[in-house]
C-alpha cells in the first residue's frame, strides 16, 4: 500500500509534520488517535481512565486493520505506543512506508512538560517516565521503521524534505 506512516514518541512532531506534509504532497491526513476518539465518542484520557491502557491498545490494533482494509495514499500518524505490539509492527508494514521521527528525551520533555492530554505522562516525574518508556520502546520503533529521521534541532521544512526524499528512495 502507498501510505506514508509517521511513528515515534509522543511529542516528536508526528501530527504537525503530518499535516504540513499532507498539504505539500496533496494527500489527506489521518491520525489513529483522532479516529479512535471519534469512533468511541470520548477522549484518549477518558478511554484510559474508564477502560485502561490494554483496552486502548486493542482499539489501536482494530484501527490499523480498518485502515488497511479501507485507506490508501494518505499521510497517517499513529499514537506513540502503537508500534510496541508486535502484531501492529507487521500491520504497519502492510499499510505503507513507515517513517520513525526520532527525538531525544530532552526535546520531548520541553514540548510536553505542560501537556495534560497524554495520560501516561501525568506523573510526578515526567522526565523519568519519558526516559523509561523510550528505553523500552526504541527497539520497537527501529524495528517497525523503514526509515529513521532524527528531528532534534531541525525545523519542519528540513524534516519534511528528509521524509519526502527517504520516501521516494524507499518506493523505487
Contacting positions for ligand S3P (CB under 6 A): 10, 14, 33, 44, 79-81, 118-120
- Closest separation between CB of residue 120 and ligand S3P, Å? 5
What is the smallest separation between the CB atom of 69 and ligand S3P, expressed in angstroms?
A: 21
Nearer Cβ to ligand S3P (125/171): 125
What the block records as the C-alpha cell of 144 is 517497525
10/35 with CB nearer ligand S3P: 10
Task: Return d(Cα 89, Cα 18) in angstroms, integer.
Answer: 20
Q: In the complex with ligand S3P, which residue's Cβ is closer, 26 or 116?
A: 116
Three-class secondary structure assignment of the chain = CCEEEEECCCCCCHHHHHHHHHHHHCCCEEEHHHHHHHHHCCCHHHHHHHHCHHHHHHHHHHHHHHHHHHCCCCEEECCCCHHHCHHHHHHHHHHEEEEEEECCHHHHHHHHCCCCCCHHHCCCCHHHHHHHHHHHHHHHHHHHCCEEEECCCCCHHHHHHHHHHHHHHHHC
Q: Which is nearer to ligand S3P, 35 or 160 (CB)?
A: 35
Question: In the bound complex, what is the minimum distance in angstroms from residue 160's beta carbon to ligand S3P?
Answer: 18
Write down the least CB distance from residue 131 to ligand S3P, Å: 13
* Least distance between ligand S3P and beta carbon 33 (Å): 5
If the CB atoms of residues 50 and 165 are measured against ligand S3P, the closer one turns out to be 50
Spatial contact of 14 and 29, defined as CB atoms under 8 Å apart: no
Amino acid at each position: 500500500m502507498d501510505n506514508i506512516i509517521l511513528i515515534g514518541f509522543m511529542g516528536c512532531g508526528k501530527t504537525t509534520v503530518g499535516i504540513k506534509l499532507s498539504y505539500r504532497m496533496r494527500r489527506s491526513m489521518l491520525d489513529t488517535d483522532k479516529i479512535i476518539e471519534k469512533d468511541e465518542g470520548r477522549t484518549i484520557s477518558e478511554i484510559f481512565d474508564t477502560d485502561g491502557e490494554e483496552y486502548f491498545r486493542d482499539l489501536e490494533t482494530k484501527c490499523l486493520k480498518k485502515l488497511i482494509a479501507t485507506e490508501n495514499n494518505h499521510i497517517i500518524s499513529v499514537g506513540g505506543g502503537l508500534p510496541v505490539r508486535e502484531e501492529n509492527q507487521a500491520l504497519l508494514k502492510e499499510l505503507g512506508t513507515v517513517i520513525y521521527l526520532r527525538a531525544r528525551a530532552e526535546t520531548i520533555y520541553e514540548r510536553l512538560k505542560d501537556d495534560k492530554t497524554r495520560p501516561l505522562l501525568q506523573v510526578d516525574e515526567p522526565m523519568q517516565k519519558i526516559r523509561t518508556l523510550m528505553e523500552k520502546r526504541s527497539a520497537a520503533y527501529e524495528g517497525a521503521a523503514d526509515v529513521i529521521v532524527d528531528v532534534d534541532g531541525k525545523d519542519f521544512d528540513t524534516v519534511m524534505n528528509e521524509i519526502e526524499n527517504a520516501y521516494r528512495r524507499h518506493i523505487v
